[in-house]
Amino acid sequence: MLKISIAKGALLASGLAGLMLATPAQAQLDQALQTAKRSTAQSAASQQRVADLDDSAEAKQREYRAVLQQIDNIRLFVDQQDIYLQSQQSEIDSLRDQLGTVEAIKQGMSPMMLRMAVRIEDAINADMPFLKEQRLARVQRLKNTLGDPAVSPAEQYRQVLNLYKQEVSFGQGLESYEGAHPSKPNSIVNYLRYGRVSLVYMTKDESEIARYNMADGSWEAATGVDALQIRRAIRIAKGEAAPDVVLAPVTVGAN
């Protein structure tokens, strides 16, 4: 009995000793594990910091490239504006040259238009005397316009051309109108103009028919076939007869 107790005591003592020996080794193992865990955590944190730094560097690089692109765009815009300004300056210089030319043209236009008005007036006075008063009145209105500084040269020139066009139009068509008798102002007759080829008149009672002689500026009586053609032409011009071919009485000069 005593031997068994001694043996149990020896075993107990031996187990306690082994436990006492195992405890420091376990602690060292736990400490090593903690160290490893801390090292792993630190490594992961370091890796994250490196990744964050890489992301930041990449973002900065993209931002840097974007800034460089903006600089290139601004330079291109500035170059385009320089080209535009050069073009505008060239256009301004051209307009200045043109203004100088326009001023010179304006200085020459006024006397030219006055000469044109005088030539029209001379042509009317030398022409057959149809609508003479109205035509000379238009020339006088044109002269007044040419002498008005408030009227632009462009408008003055337009009116000169219009008067020329009106005079040219008289050379076309058949026209009948009423007017005073050439030698009896109180008597109204029917005039008939064959373009600028011939001018005749006929009294209201058709008793007197005459044609204008450009050679000497006189009126000559029309008789026979000429009188019949004139009567028919006047009716056609007034719309009293259907349109038809008419013969104009003309004066044939001597050879």
181 occurs within a structural domain: yes
Q: Which domain holds residue 236?
A: 172-255
Q: What residues contact 189, with CB distance under 8 A and at least 6 apart?
A: 178, 179, 180, 181, 201, 202, 203, 204, 208
32 occurs within a structural domain: no
55 occurs within a structural domain: no
Residue 102 is predicted with a pLDDT of 66
Q: Give me the residues paired with residue 201 across strands.
A: 191, 210
Residues 231 and 166 in one domain: no
Residues 226 and 194 in one domain: yes
80 occurs within a structural domain: no
Residues 155 and 187 in one domain: no
Place of tokens 């462009």: 154
Burial (CB < 10 A; 0-12, 13-18, 19+), residue 113, is buried
Give Cα separations from 98 to 101, 104, 112, 218, 246 (angstroms): 5, 10, 20, 53, 54
Residues 164 and 202 in one domain: no
Write out the chain's pLDDT in tens, 255 residues: 545 555 555 554 555 455 454 566 777 777 777 777 777 777 777 777 777 777 777 888 888 888 888 888 888 888 888 888 888 888 888 877 776 676 677 777 888 999 999 999 999 999 999 999 999 999 999 999 999 989 988 899 999 999 999 999 998 888 999 999 999 989 999 999 998 899 999 999 989 999 999 888 899 998 888 888 899 988 888 888 888 888 888 765 544
Residues 165 and 206 in one domain: no
Residues 178 and 161 in one domain: no
Cα dihedral 130→134→138→144 (10° resolution):
130
- Please give the Cα distance from 88 to 118 (Å, whole number): 44
Residues 191 and 213 in one domain: yes
202 occurs within a structural domain: yes
Q: What residues contact 114, with CB distance under 8 A and at least 6 apart?
A: 143, 146
Residue 254 is predicted with a pLDDT of 45
196 occurs within a structural domain: yes
Residues 157 and 180 in one domain: no
Residue 19 is predicted with a pLDDT of 46
239 occurs within a structural domain: yes
* DSSP β-ladder status, 188-194 and 218-221: unpaired
Residue 71, SS3? helix
Question: Which of 170, 198, 223 delimits the end of a domain?
Answer: 170
Tally of domains within the chain: 2
Dig out the tokens for 240 from the structure. 């009293």
68 occurs within a structural domain: no
Residues 122 and 144 in one domain: yes
Place of tokens 């040259």: 97
Residue 136 is predicted with a pLDDT of 96
Dig out the tokens for 79 from the structure. 């170059």
Question: Which of 170, 185, 203 delimits the end of a domain?
Answer: 170
Question: Which of 137, 170, 203 delimits the end of a domain?
Answer: 170
Residues 195 and 226 in one domain: yes
3-state SS string over 152-193?
CHHHHHHHHHHHHHHHHHCCCCEEEEEEECCCCCCCEEEEEE
Residue 15 is predicted with a pLDDT of 53
Residues 250 and 179 in one domain: yes
Residues 118 and 148 in one domain: yes
Residue 144 is predicted with a pLDDT of 95
